[in-house]
Amino acid sequence: MTTTTTTPAGPPSPAGLRGDPVDLSGRSRPGEAVIRGVLFAAALVSVLTTVGIVIALLRPAVEFFRDVPVWEFLGGTRWAPNDSGNPDFGVWPLVSATLVITVVALVVAIPLGLGAAMYLSEYASPEMRRRLKPIVELLAGVPSVVYGFFALTFVTPNLLQKVLHIDVGFTNALAAGLVLGVMIIPTIASLSEDALFAVPLSLRQGSFAMGANRMQTTLRVVLPAAMSGVAAAVILGLSRAVGETMIVALAAGSRPHLSLDPREGMQAMTGYIASTAGGENPVGSTSYNTLFAVGLLLFVITLIINVISIALVRRYRQEY
């Protein structure tokens, strides 16, 4: 017997003394269950939304493909869903416009974005990096409608027509692509910079010790080591470019037109959806259902890009 148990007015004996019963039963914690439920619901909302989108896209799209054969949609080269005399549902003009605009955007965004990333990560002083990086990221906060007007009212008339003397129309894929490229620079620059900066200093030291200069070290050692992150950054920028709507709807035009010449006006997939979703078409009509067919195709394309991105990230993953 210990003194604590023999003293009548003493404190209760601590649990765990030999012979004392130990109570390990749990108290009920209803708060935990509630929090768990709330968090689960939060996760569920995004999953259900995705499922809902797929269903909402699929049903009218299936109806559309009852009227228009899939091969005519995917193989046709004339897009005229509202031509009452002779409607055509060949999606290629929309796809090619998206392609041209995206390529122009990437031609702008990859060199500038990667250049900015390399400067910030490898050349800038820590002080400079600390100040410049948030400014680069600020570009991502500009609403895309502002970019669209910038393309329409500044880039086309001033930069393209007056300064560069390029023969472009009021709406053209070039202006849309250029501005779209500027819009995705922060995405590519910021994410690539993270990847470059994460490359261990020891690799750079190893390169410098071999007599390499800074550019060689950056291009031949740091960039390959960060390739998985850089590839992910570029693909994310690409997805944003393909899905961007406001800029292309405003600046690229609304005339479906099969062409690979960026100086011409053309209608991209997102541009078509934006301009047709205005409500002119009766619900259930074939021309209404085109919206969902194009939307589904866009969804599939973005999905494929994302799958490629994941595969690339795995392929180039380096354990340095």
Partner 1 sequence: MVKGTNMSTHSVTASSPGTEANRHTAGGSVGSLSDVAQEIERHLPDKLMDPIMETSLLNIYYGDFHAVHDVNLAFGRNEITALIGPSGCGKSTVLRSLNRMNDLVPGARVEGAVNYQGQNIYARGVDPIAVRTHVGMVFQKPNPFPKSIYDNVAYGPRVTGMKVDDMDDLVEGALRGAALWDEVKDKLKQSAYGLSGGQQQRLCIARTIATKPNVILMDEPCSALDPIATARVEDLMLQLTQDYTIVIVTHNMQQAARVSDRTAFFTARPDETTGNRTGLLVEYNLTKQLFSQPSDQRTEDYISGRFG
Q: Which is nearer to partner 1, 167 or 319 (CB)?
A: 319
Could you tell me the smallest distance in angstroms from the CB atom of residue 216 to partner 1? 5
Q: Which is nearer to partner 1, 85 or 126 (CB)?
A: 126
Could you tell me the smallest distance in angstroms from the CB atom of residue 210 to partner 1? 4
215-224 CB contacts, 8 Å cutoff, 24+ apart: 217/122, 218/118, 218/122, 222/121, 222/122, 222/196, 223/118, 223/196, 224/318
Could you tell me the smallest distance in angstroms from the CB atom of residue 201 to partner 1? 9
Could you tell me the smallest distance in angstroms from the CB atom of residue 203 to partner 1? 6
Q: Which is nearer to partner 1, 103 or 212 (CB)?
A: 212
Measured CA to CA, the distance from residue 57 to residue 53 in angstroms comes to: 6
Residues that bind partner 1 in the complex, under the rule CB under 8 A: 125-126, 200, 202-213, 216, 220-221, 224-225, 318-320
Measured CA to CA, the distance from residue 32 to residue 184 in angstroms comes to: 42
Grouping H, G, I as helix, E, B as strand and the rest as coil, residue 213 is coil
Measured CA to CA, the distance from residue 50 to residue 47 in angstroms comes to: 5
Could you tell me the smallest distance in angstroms from the CB atom of residue 230 to partner 1? 13
Q: Which is nearer to partner 1, 112 or 313 (CB)?
A: 313
Q: Which is nearer to partner 1, 187 or 192 (CB)?
A: 192
| Dihedral over Cα of 290, 292, 296, 298: its sign | positive
Q: Identify the CA nearest to 92 among candidates 75, 105, 109.
A: 75
Neighbouring-strand partners of residue 79:
89
Measured CA to CA, the distance from residue 73 to residue 66 in angstroms comes to: 11
Could you tell me the smallest distance in angstroms from the CB atom of residue 311 to partner 1? 18
Q: Which is nearer to partner 1, 221 or 252 (CB)?
A: 221
Q: Which is nearer to partner 1, 203 or 258 (CB)?
A: 203
Grouping H, G, I as helix, E, B as strand and the rest as coil, residue 71 is helix
- Containing H/E element for 129? helix 126-138
Could you tell me the smallest distance in angstroms from the CB atom of residue 117 to partner 1? 18
